[in-house]
Structure 1
Amino acid sequence: MSAVGLSDAEVAQRVADGKANDVPARAARSVKEIVRANVLTRINAILGVLLVIVLSTGSLINGLFGILIVANSAIGIIQELRAKRTLDELAIVGQAKPVVRRQSGTGPRAPGEVVLDDVIEIGPGDQIVVDGEVLEESNLEVDESLLTGEADPMAKDAGDEVKSGSFVVAGSGAYRATKVGREAYAAKLAEEASKFTLVKSELRSGIDKILQFITYLLVPAGLLTIYTQLFTTDAGWRESVLRMVGALVPMVPEGLVLMTSIAFAVGVVRLGRRQCLVQELPAIEGLARVDVVCADKTGTLTENGMRLADLRTFGQDDCADVLASLAADDDRPNASMQAIAEAYDQPPGWTATASAPFKSATKWSGTSYGDHGNWVIGAPDVLLDPSSPDAHEAERIGARGLRVLLLGSSDRPVDAPDAPGVVTPVALVVLEQRVRPDAHDTLDYFAAQRVTVKVISGDNAVSVGAVADSLGLHGETLDARRLPEEPEALADTVDEYTTFGRVRPDQKRAMVHALQSRGHTVAMTGDGVNDVLALKDADIGVAMGSGSSASRAVAQIVLLDDKFATLPYVVGEGRRVIGNIERVSNLFLTKTVYSVLLAVLVGMAGLSAKVFGTDPLLFPFQPIHVTIAAWFTIGIPAFVLSLAPNRERAHTGFVRRVMTSALPSGLVIGIGTFTSYLLAYEGRASTVAEQTQASTAALITLLVGALWVLAVVARPYEWWRIGLVTVSALAYVVIFALPLTRKAFMLDPSNVAATTTALSIGLAAAALVEISWWVQGRLLGEPRRLWRSD
Structure 2
Amino acid sequence: MTAVELERGLTEAEADERMRAGKGNASPDGSSRSLGEILAANVFTVFNGIVFAGFGILLVLGRWQDALFGLPALFNTVIGVVQEFNAKRTLDRLAVMNAPSARVLRDGVAREIAPEGVVLGDLLVLRPGDQVTADARVVRTDHGGPRGLEVDESMLTGESDPIRKAVGDEVLSGSNVVGGTALAEVVQVGADSYAAKLTVEARRFSLVRSELRGSIDRLLRWISWALLPLILIVVNGQMQAFGGWGAAIASGAWREAVVGAVAAVIAMVPLGLVLITSIAFAVSGLKLAKDNVLIQELPAVEGLARVDALCLDKTGTVTTGEMVFNHAAQLADRAGWQSVLGTLGTAPDANGTAQCLAAPFGDHGAPRVCAEIPFDSARKWSALITEPGGDCEPGSWVFGAPEFVLATTDTAAAREALAQAGAIAESGLRTLLLAHSTEAIGGGEHPELPGGLVPVAILSFREEVRDDALATMAYFAKQGVDVRIISGDDPRTVSAVAREVGIEHTAGVDARTLPDDIDELAEILEREHVFGRVTPQQKRAMVHALQSRGHVVAMTGDGVNDALAIKDADLGIAMDTATPATKAVARLVLLDGRFDRMPGVVAEGRRVIANIERVSKLFLTKTTYALAIGFIFGLLAWAFPFLPRQLSITDGLTIGIPAFFLALMPNASRYRPGFMKRSLTFAVPAGIVVTAGILALHLLAPRLGEFTLTEMQSAATLALAGIALWVLAVLARPVHPFRVLIVLAMYAGLGLVWAIPFVRDFFAVTWLPADLGWLVLGIVAVGVVLIEALRAWHRSRIELRDVSLT
Q: Normalising by structure 2, what TM-score?
A: 0.70
**Which residue is equivalent to 1:734?**
752
Does structure 1 retain, via aligned residues, the 8 Å contact 2:242–2:254?
A: no
Deviation at 1:34, TM superposition (A): 7.3
Select 1:523's aligned residue among 554, 568, 573: 554
Which deviates more from structure 2 when the two are superposed, residues 443-452 or residues 482-491?
Answer: 482-491
Q: Hey, what's the Cα distance between the residues in 1 that align with 2:746 and 2:190?
A: 55
Q: Hey, what's the Cα distance between the residues in 1 that align with 2:510 and 2:267?
A: 63
Query: The residue matched to 1:355 in structure 2 has which SS?
Result: coil
**Which residue is equivalent to 2:63?**
59
**Which residue is equivalent to 2:787?**
769
Select 2:607's aligned residue among 576, 580, 591: 576
Instruction: Kindly tell me the number of residue pairs found equivalent between the two proteins.
Output: 713
Does structure 2 retain, via aligned residues, the 8 Å contact 1:285–1:578?
A: yes
Are residues 178 and 707 of structure 1, via their aligned partners in 2, closer, same or farther at CA, if it must alter by over 3 Å? farther
Are residues 552 and 624 of structure 1, via their aligned partners in 2, closer, same or farther at CA, if it must alter by over 3 Å? closer
Does structure 2 retain, via aligned residues, the 8 Å contact 1:271–1:570?
A: yes
Q: 1:281-336 CA distances to partner (integer Å, 9 max, x unpaired)? A: 654433221123344555434433344355435449569989999999999x6x53
Does structure 2 retain, via aligned residues, the 8 Å contact 1:127–1:550?
A: no
Deviation at 1:247, TM superposition (A): 1.0
Q: 1:607-661 CA distances to partner (integer Å, 9 max, x unpaired)? A: xxxxxxxxxx211011111122211222223333344444322222233222212
Query: The residue matched to 2:271 in structure 1 has which SS?
Result: coil
Deviation at 1:749, TM superposition (A): 2.9
Alignment partner of 1:219 is 2:228 = yes
Deviation at 1:599, TM superposition (A): 0.9
**Which residue is equivalent to 2:628?**
597
Are residues 185 and 547 of structure 1, via their aligned partners in 2, closer, same or farther at CA, if it must alter by over 3 Å? closer
**Which residue is equivalent to 1:248?**
265
**Which residue is equivalent to 1:623?**
644
Does structure 2 retain, via aligned residues, the 8 Å contact 1:28–1:191?
A: no
Are residues 121 and 456 of structure 1, via their aligned partners in 2, closer, same or farther at CA, if it must alter by over 3 Å? same
Deviation at 1:589, TM superposition (A): 1.9
Deviation at 1:496, TM superposition (A): 6.5
Q: Hey, what's the Cα distance between the residues in 2 that align with 1:768 and 1:424?
A: 89
Deviation at 1:595, TM superposition (A): 0.5
Which deviates more from structure 2 when the two are superposed, residues 692-701 or residues 19-28?
Answer: 19-28
**Which residue is equivalent to 2:476?**
446
Select 1:691's aligned residue among 709, 732, 739: 709
Could you tell me which amino acid in structure 2 is paired with residue 223 of structure 1?
L
Does structure 2 retain, via aligned residues, the 8 Å contact 1:132–1:175?
A: yes
Could you tell me which amino acid in structure 2 is paired with residue 405 of structure 1?
T
Select 1:206's aligned residue among 189, 192, 215: 215
Select 2:669's aligned residue among 627, 648, 651: 648
Q: Hey, what's the Cα distance between the residues in 1 that align with 2:500 and 2:486?
A: 16
Q: Hey, what's the Cα distance between the residues in 1 that align with 2:730 and 2:7?
A: 72
Deviation at 1:229, TM superposition (A): 0.5
Q: Hey, what's the Cα distance between the residues in 2 that align with 1:268 and 1:113?
A: 39
Could you tell me which amino acid in structure 1 is paired with residue 218 of structure 2?
K
Are residues 354 and 465 of structure 1, via their aligned partners in 2, closer, same or farther at CA, if it must alter by over 3 Å? closer
Q: Hey, what's the Cα distance between the residues in 1 that align with 2:174 and 2:240?
A: 64
Deviation at 1:203, TM superposition (A): 3.2
Could you tell me which amino acid in structure 2 is paired with residue 207 of structure 1?
I
Q: Hey, what's the Cα distance between the residues in 1 that align with 2:564 and 2:84?
A: 31
**Which residue is equivalent to 1:609?**
none
Query: The residue matched to 1:303 in structure 2 has which SS?
Result: strand
Does structure 1 retain, via aligned residues, the 8 Å contact 2:173–2:193?
A: yes
Does structure 1 retain, via aligned residues, the 8 Å contact 2:136–2:184?
A: yes
Does structure 2 retain, via aligned residues, the 8 Å contact 1:144–1:154?
A: no
Deviation at 1:584, TM superposition (A): 3.3
Does structure 1 retain, via aligned residues, the 8 Å contact 2:555–2:571?
A: yes
Deviation at 1:766, TM superposition (A): 2.9
**Which residue is equivalent to 2:431?**
405
Q: Hey, what's the Cα distance between the residues in 2 that align with 1:379 and 1:478?
A: 25
Q: Counterparts in 2 of 1:183-202, with a 5 A limit?
A: 190=199, 193-194=202-203, 197-198=206-207, 200-202=209-211
Q: Hey, what's the Cα distance between the residues in 1 that align with 2:497 and 2:191?
A: 46
Alignment partner of 1:504 is 2:533 = yes
Alignment partner of 1:567 is 2:571 = no
Does structure 1 retain, via aligned residues, the 8 Å contact 2:213–2:299?
A: no
**Which residue is equivalent to 2:698?**
677
Q: Hey, what's the Cα distance between the residues in 2 that align with 1:695 and 1:378?
A: 91
Q: Hey, what's the Cα distance between the residues in 1 that align with 2:484 and 2:208?
A: 30
Deviation at 1:269, TM superposition (A): 4.5
Q: 1:453-474 CA distances to partner (integer Å, 9 max, x unpaired)? A: 4556688989877876676x37
Q: 1:435-468 CA distances to partner (integer Å, 9 max, x unpaired)? A: 4333344234324423244556688989877876
**Which residue is equivalent to 2:54?**
50
Query: The residue matched to 1:647 in structure 2 has which SS?
Result: coil
Could you tell me which amino acid in structure 2 is paired with residue 251 of structure 1?
M
Could you tell me which amino acid in structure 2 is paired with residue 545 of structure 1?
D
Which deviates more from structure 2 when the two are superposed, residues 617-626 or residues 259-268?
Answer: 259-268
Select 1:286's aligned residue among 303, 316, 326: 303
Query: The residue matched to 2:669 in structure 1 has which SS?
Result: coil
Could you tell me which amino acid in structure 1 is paired with residue 552 of structure 2?
T
CA RMSD of aligned residues (A): 5.8
Query: The residue matched to 2:55 in structure 1 has which SS?
Result: helix
Q: Hey, what's the Cα distance between the residues in 2 that align with 1:215 and 1:621?
A: 22
**Which residue is equivalent to 1:117?**
118
Alignment partner of 1:781 is 2:799 = yes
Select 2:256's aligned residue among 226, 239, 242: 239
Q: Hey, what's the Cα distance between the residues in 1 that align with 2:792 and 2:178?
A: 57
Query: The residue matched to 1:698 in structure 2 has which SS?
Result: helix
Does structure 1 retain, via aligned residues, the 8 Å contact 2:607–2:666?
A: yes
Q: Hey, what's the Cα distance between the residues in 1 that align with 2:584 and 2:381?
A: 29
Q: 1:660-683 CA distances to partner (integer Å, 9 max, x unpaired)? A: 122111111112122223322589
Could you tell me which amino acid in structure 2 is paired with residue 758 of structure 1?
V
Q: Hey, what's the Cα distance between the residues in 2 that align with 1:701 and 1:560?
A: 52
Does structure 2 retain, via aligned residues, the 8 Å contact 1:132–1:178?
A: yes
**Which residue is equivalent to 2:145?**
none
**Which residue is equivalent to 2:723?**
705
**Which residue is equivalent to 2:618?**
587
**Which residue is equivalent to 1:355?**
378
Q: Hey, what's the Cα distance between the residues in 2 that align with 1:455 and 1:307?
A: 20
Q: Normalising by structure 1, what TM-score?
A: 0.71
Are residues 477 and 200 of structure 1, via their aligned partners in 2, closer, same or farther at CA, if it must alter by over 3 Å? closer
Does structure 2 retain, via aligned residues, the 8 Å contact 1:54–1:62?
A: yes
Does structure 1 retain, via aligned residues, the 8 Å contact 2:309–2:483?
A: yes
Select 2:577's aligned residue among 522, 546, 554: 546
Q: Hey, what's the Cα distance between the residues in 2 that align with 1:566 and 1:555?
A: 16
Gaps of 5+ in 1: 104-111, 148-152, 357-364, 414-422, 607-616, 785-790
Alignment partner of 1:305 is 2:309 = no
Gaps of 5+ in 2: 1-5, 105-112, 142-147, 385-395, 436-442, 444-452
Q: Hey, what's the Cα distance between the residues in 1 that align with 2:544 and 2:493?
A: 25
Q: 1:232-289 CA distances to partner (integer Å, 9 max, x unpaired)? A: 4226222222222221111122233333444444444544444445566654433221
Q: Hey, what's the Cα distance between the residues in 1 that align with 2:9 and 2:746?
A: 72
Query: The residue matched to 1:505 in structure 2 has which SS?
Result: coil
Deviation at 1:564, TM superposition (A): 0.7
Deviation at 1:697, TM superposition (A): 1.2
Query: The residue matched to 2:378 in structure 1 has which SS?
Result: strand
Q: 1:492-545 CA distances to partner (integer Å, 9 max, x unpaired)? A: 8866777x4x83326877876776666443434344678678757755443433
Q: 1:72-115 CA distances to partner (integer Å, 9 max, x unpaired)? A: 4566677888x779x959989x9864474569xxxxxxxx9854
Could you tell me which amino acid in structure 2 is paired with residue 355 of structure 1?
A
Could you tell me which amino acid in structure 1 is paired with residue 378 of structure 2?
S
Select 1:751's aligned residue among 754, 766, 769: 769
